[in-house]
């Protein structure tokens, strides 16, 4: 499917989508639409209220189909995306090969959400089904999306469309990675994807195999991997903007557990099949690196992904074992199902020692505790830097990938105190689990002055219209790209 930007000329698309806000002027808007399409205004006002995701289909005498799409009262960026995603997903078999979207009454900024929603609406979750559904005409190579905007908005619209398309393609690949089952996705799969992406988009990728991981002393990662037949990898991706040697340096670290049984502290069988998703942090980091390189953002970006399975066999790390780490600190493993923070310890330690980033952010599907706190509507944000917190919250509000700040008070240090080692990986208490996990990670940042931890457990894999069970969202890529594009990053 190709996308064309054009001005508000006579609309020739076989299918037309018109988004409508629920404002005080709604009756006037509907009267104008009624006149435009030769309808009775009173009937249209009775049948369509512009509620969020409400759809009304109109059929014209010339065969054109028109969808009025309700946006509700104050549509957010995510609201635009979700409304268009659901409409195009539900109606994709009914769409004509050419579809127009009339955005002449809106700012060009909404184009990003519209395009991402439409692209996502064509996503095929049946990655390994033998009976693949036929590609809808609109989503075929011959499909055309025509976006109509006002003359004066054409220049910003082109830039926004370029960014949206860069994000959309990478986002789809991350959905595929996260939705793939563990027998199709092992740690090396993530490494292979990163290497191929780096070669295509011009950024460097280094992958440590197990021998190099041992040589480097990444002992925490090795301990989690001990029960798996698939060796771990340690991925380092680096994008440097051309001719900007003084660009701010941002380090991203993502948890890459391609399947999590819980180890010896094994999870209940209910829901374990969804643990193929435990690399949502890795997906956010890898996706952000690729998009940043495609957009040539003026920031020096380093992404680190420690990747492994967390499996059970006779060699697996046991509760009560004391393990080492890259920074030399010893960890008492109270719960082997708290493995994400263990591998992130090595990722964070390697990042601060070898790259000294100006800003350090880690992302992980880390705790069920954060879901108990925030549900499936926001990720937990922990940071020691008020400016960084403010900027991340601003990006969250702009993209709709919500964050909510939670405390990092030192009183919570008691939850990670060990009797036999430098610290322990789990408090053993049925409360404040996300906070104690963040305090554990903080130790391995070596008091970095601008660090943020994002616990995305409730956001990376959740219910959508695409399937009967939870599936990937690609959470974090849009959030981080928006953050990296912000000029205020210079002041952190």
CATH number of the domain where residue 369 is located: 3.40.630.10
Q: What is the pLDDT of residue 450?
A: 97
Which of 31, 15, 81 has its CA nearest to residue 52?
81
Based on the fold, state whether residues 109 and 192 are members of the same structural domain.
no
Give the separation between CA 144 and CA 1, rounded to whole angstroms: 5
For residues 101 and 137, membership in a common domain is answered with yes
Q: Extract the tokens encoding 216.
A: 């480097």
The β-bridge partners of 233 are 307
- Write out the two tokens for 88: 């195009």
Is the domain of 309 the same as that of 434?
A: yes
> Which CATH number characterizes residue 66's domain?
3.40.220.10
Binding residues for Mn(2+): 255, 260, 278, 337, 339
Q: Spell out, as residue ranges, where the chain has pLDDT lower than 70.
A: 8-12, 487-488, 490
Placement of tokens 């010339």 in the chain: 62
What pLDDT is attached to residue 9? 63
Domain span holding position 347: 169-491
Number of H helices, E strands in the chain: 14, 20
Does 158 fall in a domain? no
Measured CA to CA, the distance from residue 309 to residue 257 in angstroms comes to 5
Please give the pLDDT value at position 358.
Answer: 97
Tokens of 177: 């990675």
Tell me how crowded residue 330 is: count the other CB atoms within 10 A of its CB: 16
Res 11: pLDDT: 60
Chosen domain end from 153, 181, 199? 153
Residue 28: CB atoms within 10 A of its CB come to: 11
| Co-location of 472 and 344 in the same domain | yes
Instruction: Dig out the tokens for 34 from the structure.
Output: 């009624």
Out of 153, 184, 216, a domain closes at 153
pLDDT at 8: 67
The pair of three-digit structure tokens given for residue 72, joined into one six-digit string: 């509700």
Residues 397-434 pLDDT 10s: 999 999 999 999 999 999 999 999 999 999 999 999 99
373 token code pair: 């706190």
| Active-site residue list | 267, 341
Residues making up the binding site? 255, 260, 278, 337, 339
**Residue 468: what pLDDT?**
82
Instruction: Tell me which of 101, 120, 153 is where a domain ends.
Output: 153
Residues 252 and 362 in one domain: yes
**Within a domain: residue 164?**
no
Residues 343 and 286 in one domain: yes
Q: Are residues 275 and 387 in the same domain?
A: yes
Q: Are residues 135 and 229 in the same domain?
A: no
Q: Which residues contact 51 (CB under 8 A, 6 or more apart)?
A: 22, 70, 72
How many structural domains does the chain have? Answer: 2
Are residue 280 and residue 358 in the same domain, yes or no? yes
Which residues are CB-neighbours of 213 under 8 A, at least 6 positions away? Answer: 221, 222, 232, 233, 234
Query: What's the pLDDT score for residue 327?
Result: 98
CA 479 → CA 69, 71, 284, 363, distances in Å? 26, 22, 9, 12
Residues 193, 146 within the same domain: no
Determine the length of the chain: 492
Give Cβ neighbours of residue 86 (< 8 Å, ≥ 6 apart): 53, 121, 465
């Amino acid at each position: 499917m190709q996308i064309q930007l054009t001005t508000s000329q006579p609309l020739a698309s076989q299918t037309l989508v018109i988004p409508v806000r629920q404002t005080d002027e709604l009756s006037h808007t509907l009267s104008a639409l009624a006149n435009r399409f030769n309808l009775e205004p009173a009937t249209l006002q009775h049948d369509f209220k512009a509620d969020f995701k409400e759809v009304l289909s109109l059929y014209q005498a010339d065969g054109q189909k028109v969808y009025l799409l309700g946006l509700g009262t104050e549509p957010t960026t995510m609201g635009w995306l979700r409304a268009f995603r659901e409409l195009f997903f539900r109606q994709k078999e009914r769409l004509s090969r050419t579809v127009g979207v009339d955005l002449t009454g809106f700012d060009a900024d909404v184009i990003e959400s519209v395009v991402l929603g439409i692209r996502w609406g064509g996503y095929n979750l049946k990655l390994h089904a033998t009976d693949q559904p036929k590609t809808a005409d609109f989503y075929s190579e011959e499909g055309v999306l025509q976006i109509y905007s006002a003359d004066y908005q054409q220049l910003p619209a082109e830039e926004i469309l370029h960014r949206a398309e860069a994000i959309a393609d990478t986002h789809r690949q991350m959905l595929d990675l996260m939705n793939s089952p563990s027998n199709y996705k092992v740690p090396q799969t993530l490494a292979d994807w990163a290497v191929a992406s780096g070669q295509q988009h011009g950024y460097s990728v280094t992958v440590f195999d197990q021998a190099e991981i041992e040589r480097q002393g990444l002992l925490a990662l090795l301990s989690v991997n001990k029960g798996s037949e698939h060796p771990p990898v340690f991925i380092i991706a680096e994008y440097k903007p051309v001719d900007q040697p003084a660009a701010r340096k941002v380090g991203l670290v993502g948890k890459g557990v391609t399947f999590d049984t819980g180890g010896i502290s094994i999870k209940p069988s209910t829901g374990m099949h969804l643990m193929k998703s435990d690399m949502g942090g890795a997906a956010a980091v890898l996706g952000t690196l690729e998009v940043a390189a495609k957009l040539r953002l003026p920031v020096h970006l380093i992404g680190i992904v420690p990747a492994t399975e967390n499996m059970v066999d006779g060699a697996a790390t046991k509760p009560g074992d004391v393990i080492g780490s890259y920074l030399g600190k010893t960890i008492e493993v109270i719960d082997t199902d708290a493995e994400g923070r263990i591998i992130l310890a090595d990722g964070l330690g390697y990042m601060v020692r070898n790259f000294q980033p100006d800003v350090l952010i880690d992302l992980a599907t880390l705790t069920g505790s954060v879901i108990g706190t925030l549900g499936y509507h926001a990720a937990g944000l922990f940071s020691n830097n008020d400016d960084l917190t403010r900027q991340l919250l601003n990006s969250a509000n702009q993209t709709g990938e919500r964050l909510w700040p939670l405390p990092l008070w030192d009183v919570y240090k008691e939850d990670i105190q060990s009797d036999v080692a430098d610290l322990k990986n789990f408090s053993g208490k049925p409360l404040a689990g996300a906070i104690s996990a963040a305090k554990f990670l903080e130790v391995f940042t070596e008091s970095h002055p601008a660090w943020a931890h994002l616990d995305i457990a409730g956001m990376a894999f959740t219910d959508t219209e695409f399937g009967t069970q939870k599936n990937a969202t690609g959470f974090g890529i849009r959030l981080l790209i928006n953050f990296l594009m912000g000029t205020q990053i210079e002041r952190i």
